[in-house]
Chains A and B, each alone.
Chain A
Amino acid sequence: MIPTICLVFLFFSQAFPQKDSSDYFDINSTSNIKKFADYLFCADDYLRAALEYEKYLSSYYNDTVEFKIGLSYSRIGNYSKAIEWFNKIKNNSGFSNDARNEYFKSLFQSGDYYNFRKYYSENIVNNDKIRNLDKLFYFSYFFTDDELPPRNDFLNPFNLKEENKINEFYQRKTNPPYKSVAAAVIMSSLIPGSGKIYTGQIGDGIIAAIATGLCGYLAYDNFKAKHNFRGWVFSGLIAFFYAGNIYGSAASAQIYNAGIQFNFQNDVKLYLNQQNYFTPEYDFCK
């Protein structure tokens, strides 16, 4: 009896999967592709979500899907693709304003601040929904060497809550605590190592002073003892350390200034991230 039951069970088990595969396992159907893409999007797997959505769009037009493709690329940092997809969304679409927001946000995030300002100036629309782009427009000045607009104009788009922070950034940009390259060079020329200490490299400055001073003492001592060859060798080393330190002080001041700029831009980016670049949050995963 048991062998017969086994045979019957095996017979049915080989029959049913065939049925399942045709009815439920059609992952090529457009609805299943979209479901899978939605799942990937909500699981933050944006690259694969975008590819699945693109596959879906080859069969059907859907502006929500286009927008989500743009969002996916934007969230993984592929801004050129994101810009391309946001640009595709038509003006009569319900997502046109959001797409424009995201288009400019992606342009900003890609670091193309000059084109951001150029396209923005060409496409200004008196529309409340994209007015927050004014804020990004002014923020772009923090990332370029261009002269900042007057403070009052700059603060105009921001509300009272934001104003303090923006004022602080404005102050840091207009008066950065840079170190003067010329001052570092002059200081190191007068007292070896002092230029490095001025730029914050205290250990390097002290070592440079010791190396130059020690070589100076050894050169003096050897000349005094009539060991002229050794005296000249140490004189050469003085020149080596002295000149190297003056050059290094100039480089150190430049690196210090680059660090100030780097930290400033990092802080601005952090703030922009906290504010989501003044664009709304979209909840497609409810």
Chain B
Amino acid sequence: MKALLKFKKWLLQDLYWILNENFVMKFILIFILLFSINIFPQVDKFRQYQDTTDWQKWGKANYSYQHQEPATSEQRYYSLKGENFGGTILKSFADAYWFFISDVDGDNCSFNPTCSSFFIQAVQRTNILQGTLMFADRFTRDLNLFKLNHYPRVEDGHFYDPVSLYTLNRSVIKITPPESFVNTE
């Protein structure tokens, strides 16, 4: 208790000295006090209007300025889930082709979707016969080296050539001008 009283006395003496004797310290203390008062109302003001301005309404854009590689032409879906008997056999062949040949050989098909994916999608959308005919046509078109201005592009530069254009169903044909870019994501 005695020690505490002694400390209090020392503190008061010290404060008295700061406030009455040391002019520089007094100035600094008042400066800090006024500066803090000056700052905090601004913060409050910001909080007060946050509900009514676009700061909260629109929020911060989560955009990374780091360089990002363009998305790859196509993701491989190896899963056989949801396939019927015929689909399972066909998909197994396609999976084997992707795993043992295509992925090793590299990205050679100039189309999106690739010819193998096009075949799978064509069969899924139509039937095995029509799907095979669609694939035969696609394969022939892939042999053509002069297709530069005939197809729109996706972001990684591949030619966009969806299955929906070739099902012979007029209502699902959606034309995209060849000079445009398509976002496939």
Residues on A lying within 8 angstroms of B by beta carbon are 3, 6-7, 10-11, 13-14, 17-18, 21, 25, 27-28, 48, 51, 201, 203-204, 207-208, 211, 240-241, 243-245, 247-248, 250-251, 254-255, 258-259, 262
Contacts and interface: CB of A to CB of B under 8 A. Distances in A.
Nearest to A3: B27
B133 interface: yes
B144 interface: yes
Of A14, A48, A240, most B-chain CB atoms within 10 Å: A14
A127 to B, nearest CB: 38
B101 interface: no
Given A244-B137, A247-B133, A10 B144 contact: no
Contacts of B137: 244-245, 247-248, 251
Given A27-B53, A203-B147, A247-B136, A255 B173 contact: yes
Contacts of B173: 254-255, 258
Nearest to B54: A48
A208 B57 CA distance: 58
B139 interface: yes
B65 interface: no
Interface of B: 27, 30-31, 34-35, 37-38, 41-42, 45, 49, 52-54, 57, 130, 133-137, 139-141, 143-147, 150, 165-166, 168, 170, 173, 175, 177
A204 B34 CA distance: 80
Contact of A13 (B38, B45, B166): B38
Closest 3 A-B residue pairs measured CB to CB? A244-B136, A248-B137, A247-B133
B interface: dominant SS: helix
Q: Is the interface of A mostly helix, strand, loop or mixed?
A: helix
A262 B150 CA distance: 15
A211 B31 contact: no
Nearest to A33: B52
B133 A27 contact: no
A60 B137 CA distance: 64
Nearest to B178: A259
A28 B52 contact: yes
B136 A241 contact: yes
B175 to A, nearest CB: 4
Contact of B134 (A27, A241, A247, A259): A247
B147 to A, nearest CB: 7
A17 B37 CA distance: 11
A144 to B, nearest CB: 13
A225 B147 CA distance: 37
A25 B30 contact: no
B133 A243 contact: yes
A7 B140 CA distance: 85
A3 B170 CA distance: 84
A200 to B, nearest CB: 9
Given A27-B53, A250-B168, A258-B173, A204 B140 contact: yes
A258 B35 CA distance: 71
Contacts of A251: 134, 137, 165-166, 168
Contacts of A51: 57
Contacts of B130: 247
Contacts of B57: 51
B49 to A, nearest CB: 6
A261 B165 CA distance: 15
A51 B34 CA distance: 40
Contact of A244 (B49, B52, B139, B147): B139
A240 B119 CA distance: 14
Nearest to A260: B175
Contacts of B31: 6-7, 10
A251 B53 CA distance: 54
Contacts of B144: 203-204, 207
18 contacts: A3-B27, A10-B34, A11-B34, A14-B38, A51-B57, A203-B150, A204-B140, A204-B144, A207-B143, A211-B140, A211-B143, A241-B136, A241-B140, A243-B133, A247-B130, A248-B141, A254-B173, A258-B170
Nearest to B165: A255
A235 to B, nearest CB: 15
A25 B45 contact: yes
Contacts of B37: 14
Contact of B140 (A21, A28, A244): A244
